[in-house]
Structure 1
Amino acid sequence: TGRSWKKLQTFFYTPSLASTSSFLEALFPPELLESTNPDLDLEDDYAVQEATEQLYLHPPAEVQHELERRARWLKEVWKDGEILRDWDAERKKREKEEAKGAKSGPSKDV
């Protein structure tokens, strides 16, 4: 909603997404990364497909722990973005109300 929020969202969300991709590449075992390589034709190798699926479905405990930790971090980043969005909306609302008050002139209390 609005240009300034899009800037805030891009500032917070895009880098966190990029860093998550790098994080996942470093975290997962080489076999998993190899299975996602588009240059390799693994469609006919059922054993590799099965092993890859098992790695995705049941990652090692250390990997699972790191994924959960990263998910918590991303939630915090997103929550900060929502707080900033709400703050920006409130600031704009106040500015609009102040501008209306300035246009109508000083109030004449009797």
Structure 2
Amino acid sequence: MDDDRKICLIHTSSPLFLSLVNSKIEEELRGTDGELTALLRLVSIRHKLVSREIIKLTGERKQKFIAQELEQNKRLEVCTLQLLEEAKSEVINLKRAKYAVKRYK
């Protein structure tokens, strides 16, 4: 497991339910099962919660929340891009293996 995926998406302005969803996303990123369905669902829920929170907040609290969320989103983006690169690499390796098997037929 890569240390790059050990992130914390929770910050001081995170509401309770967003913190719970963020914790689940962190667990999925640390997981080794390669199943991304749950992660995709959780990221979608996270987006909705963040959007709702931005609408609810005003003034300085809103600005603080947005700044903290932008930082967390950058971390999440790095992790998901890493997952994408790993998936691309797996596909390339599978295609090479398939080609090698066909050559020996």
- TM-score, length of structure 1 as denominator length: 0.45
Larger Rg over CA atoms: 1
Q: Which has the higher contact order (CA 8 A, sep 6+)?
A: 1
Give TM-score scaled by structure 2 length.
0.47
